[in-house]
Structure 1
Amino acid sequence: MELLVSNTTSSSSATRSALQQINSLVLREHSMDTLLQAVVDATKATLPGYVDSSISLVVGNRPTTAVYSGQLALDLDESQYERGHGPCLHAATTGELVEITDARSDTRWPDYTSRAVERGSRSSLSVPLPMTGLQAGLNVYATEPRAFDDDTRTAAEEFARAAAVSISNMHAYQTARDVADNLEVAMQSRSVIDQAKGILMERHELTAEQAFQVLVHASQGTNRKLREVADHLVATGELVQPRRRR
């Protein structure tokens, strides 16, 4: 998914344009991955200089990179996962923004920062996603030291919020779809059971309750779901019967 954002545009207007495009994405046309991919692609396209971006998730103490804009971001995320520490993990698990202004002199995670320098990243910004019940962060890796100013930090925080909103909205949408699907299945089951009851009522001059109890007895006696017994009766005209013991 390509977002048409130019680095020649001013930082604030480019950020607004990218966020508008992200917010306009239609949930039913996208997955969680494509929504989050739009966020990291917009982060890369909008922030000045050469940067790579990723989103880290920590589920059950196991970190993973959900999406990334380039190999640099993936490599440095995974370098931190292997060590069990680093700026992206700290941001995701503590909710604190972490900035490395110059990886050559930062002393907090020396084994990681030496790897970052080796891979060509001199500075980075890790922004926690503001969500309840989920540990996640937006990571931005830059090739130049001191790559982030107040405007770019603000932009990164806005993209992190957009990612959090995307996750929340997609979760709500999927939950609603699951509820709708379950209701549809329930309505279909009720419809076929009502049809089966009608057959029994007409055939044996039963009340609705008596016909329902006949279906329940057949279901229990054959160890089949009530819906399956009703389906069979509607389709074949025959009520399934339990096998007789010899």
Structure 2
Amino acid sequence: MSPEDHTPAVDEATAFEQLGTVAVSEHSVHSVLQTVADLTKQVMPGTIEASVSVLVADKATTMVYTGQLALDLDESQYGRGYGPCLHAASMGQTVEVEDARTEARWSDYMRNAVDRGSLSSLSLPLGSPSAMGAGLNIYARGPSAFHEDSRRIAHRFARFAGVATANVNAYQSAREQADDLQVALESRAVIDQAKGILIERYQLTADEAFKLLAQASMASNRRLRAVADQLVTTGELVLPPSRS
């Protein structure tokens, strides 16, 4: 049995069952993509390494990888500014290299791939480049390593990675917005308490009390929330000299 014919360490159904248990609220984008890359390596037939390339401000980086071969070949393309993984991530198109020894595209990169021991590869976009420039890259040692079934599996992993990444990003964004809202609500509550103290202390209207807080904020060069919190906690308010 050749290395290219070895039995996958994990079957397809088990792999996707594991992916289905990944809780968005408990994982970062990095951990989700690392899980995808690791399972891709275990499920795909043959001796392969996997990585995920991400484009940020037109600069490419390898976010996760399963072995040095994948990282080296990714970075070899970044240094040149072109190659299968960059094309997949930036153009949203699947790129398959059946035999790097005879591939006409990106000839100098192909020579490097052969020298490093990768004769075929498959790079798949993770969703639309307009939403996120990223790609799942699979590097095989032997030529013509990808067949109909392995391509189908690879596309499933790429789709899952794209959707999972979008969901994690959306969840984290929602959490940040919720945290910001909570801070805003807490600030509003403290400021309202401080206004209430000033209204009672100086017989002011609500608007006058707020203006007094604002003047104290400017006089002390501190945030309005901090001034209000000090007043609520200690009863102290630093006023401008003209109001002292």
1:28-51: CA deviations, max 9, x gaps? 221111010001001000001110
Q: CA deviation at 1:8?
A: 5.7
- Secondary structure of 1:21's aligned partner: helix
- Alignment of 1:67 onto 2:64: yes
What are the within-5 Å matches in structure 2 for residues 120-135 of structure 1?
120-131=117-128, 132-135=130-133
SS at match of 2:180: helix
Superposition pairs of residues 107-122 of structure 1, within 5 angstroms: 107-122=104-119
Following superposition, the deviation at residue 16 of structure 1 comes to 3.3
Whether the 8 Å CA contact 2:40–2:50 is kept in 1: the answer is: yes
Rounded Cα–Cα distance in structure 2 between residues aligned with 1:8 and 1:197: 66
Aligned equivalents of 1:133 and 1:30: distance in 2? 20
SS in 1 for 2:139: strand
State the Cα deviation string for residues 102-152 of structure 1 (Å, max 9, x = none): 111112122111111111111100111113322111100001111000111
After superposition, the Cα gap between the structure-2 partners of 1:149 and 1:70, relative to the gap in structure 1 and judged at 3 Å, is same
Deviating beyond 3 angstroms after TM superposition, the runs of 4 or more aligned structure 1 residues are 220-223
Q: By how many angstroms is 1:243 displaced?
A: 5.0
Aligned pairs (5 A) from 1:167-246:
167-243=165-241
Query: For 2:153, what is the secondary structure of its paired residue?
Result: helix
1:90 deviation in Å? 1.3
How far apart are the structure 2 equivalents of 1:115 and 1:150?
27
Match status 1:102 vs 2:103: no
- Give per-residue Cα distances to partners, 1:138-187, cap 9 Å, x unaligned: 10000111100011111111111111112100111011101110111011
Distance 2:232 2:153 in 1: 61
Q: By how many angstroms is 1:59 displaced?
A: 1.8
How many matched pairs? 235
Residue in 1 that maps onto 2:8: 7
Distance 1:242 1:204 in 2: 16
Question: Which piece of structure 1 moves more, 128-137 or 179-188?
Answer: 128-137
Matching residue's letter, 2:42: A
Give the deviation of 1:73 after TM superposition: 0.3
**Which piece of structure 1 moves more, 124-133 or 159-168?**
124-133
Separation in 1, partners of 2:227, 2:9? 67
Instruction: Give the secondary structure class of the aligned counterpart of 1:211.
Output: helix
The two structures have a TM-score, normalised by structure 1, of 0.90
The corresponding residue for 2:3 is none
- 1:229 is displaced (CA, Å) by 1.4
Matches of 2:240 and 2:68 in 1, distance apart?
A: 62
Find the aligned partners of 1:8 and 1:35 in 2 and give their Cα distance: 19
Cα displacement string for residues 75-101 of structure 1 (whole angstroms, at most 9, x for unaligned residues): 000111111111111111121111111
Q: Which residue number corresponds to residue 32 of structure 1?
A: 29
